[in-house]
Chain A
Amino acid sequence: MVKRVLLIEDEPNIIEAVRYILTREGWAVDTHANGATALDAVARRRPDVIVLDAMLPNRSGFDILRDLRADAGLAAIPVLMLTARGQRADREMAERLGADRFMTKPFANAEVLACLRDLAGLGAG
Chain B
Amino acid sequence: MACKLIFGAVQKVSEKTADLAKGGMRLAGSRIRARRLDLGMRQADLARRLGISASYLNLIEHNRRQVAGKLLSAIARALETDAAALAEGAEGALLDGLRDAAAGQGGAADLERAEDFAGRFPGWAALAAAQARRIAALERTVQTLNDRITHDPHLSAALHDVLSSVTAIRSTSAILAGEGAVDAEWQARFHRNLHEDSQKLAERAQSLVAYLDAREDEERAPVVPQETFEAWLAARGFHLAEVEAGQPLADPGRVGSAAARLIAAHAAQVRADAEAVPLSRLRAALERAGPDPAALAGELGADLGRVFRRLAALPEGVGGQPVGLLVCDASGSLTFRKPVPGFEVPRFGAGCALWPLYQSLGQPFVPLRTVVETAGRLPQRFLTFAQSRMDHPGGFGSPPVVEASMLILPAGGTEEAARPVGVTCRICPRAGCAGRREPSIVG
A105 x B167 contact (CB < 8 A): yes
Interface residues of A in 1-49 (CB under 8 A from B): 11, 13-14, 16-18, 20-21, 24
A48 to B47: give the CA distance in the assembly, Å: 88
Residues of B within 8 A of A83 (CB): 160
The interface size bin for chain A is 20 to 34
What's the least CB distance linking A77 to chain B, in Å?
23
Residues of B within 8 A of A107 (CB): 167, 170-171
B168 x A89 contact (CB < 8 A): no
A17 x B441 contact (CB < 8 A): no
What's the least CB distance linking B142 to chain A, in Å?
12
- Given A14-B171, A17-B172, A105-B166, 14 more A-B residue pairs with CB atoms under 8 Å apart are A14-B167, A14-B168, A16-B193, A17-B175, A18-B171, A55-B156, A55-B157, A84-B159, A84-B160, A87-B441, A89-B440, A93-B438, A109-B171, A109-B175
B160 x A13 contact (CB < 8 A): no
B150-185 CB mask vs A (1 if < 8 Å, else 0) is 100000110110111111111110110010100000
A17 to B173: give the CA distance in the assembly, Å: 9
Interface residues of A in 65-111 (CB under 8 A from B): 83-85, 87-89, 92-93, 96, 105-109
A89 x B175 contact (CB < 8 A): no
Partner of A106, one of B163, B193, B439, B440: B163
Residues of B in contact with A (beta carbons under 8 Å apart)? 150, 156-157, 159-160, 162-172, 174-175, 178, 180, 186, 189-190, 193, 196-197, 426, 438-441
A interface majority secondary structure: helix
- Residue with the highest number of chain A CB atoms closer than 10 Å, among B171, B180, B190, B441: B171
Partner of A17, one of B171, B180, B196, B440: B171
A44 to B103: give the CA distance in the assembly, Å: 58
Residues of B within 8 A of A85 (CB): 156, 159-160
Partner of A14, one of B164, B426, B440: B164
A21 to B177: give the CA distance in the assembly, Å: 13
Residues of A in contact with B (beta carbons under 8 Å apart)? 11, 13-14, 16-18, 20-21, 24, 55, 83-85, 87-89, 92-93, 96, 105-109
B438 x A89 contact (CB < 8 A): yes
B170 x A92 contact (CB < 8 A): no
Please name the residue on chain A nearest to B170 by beta carbon: A106
B438 x A13 contact (CB < 8 A): no
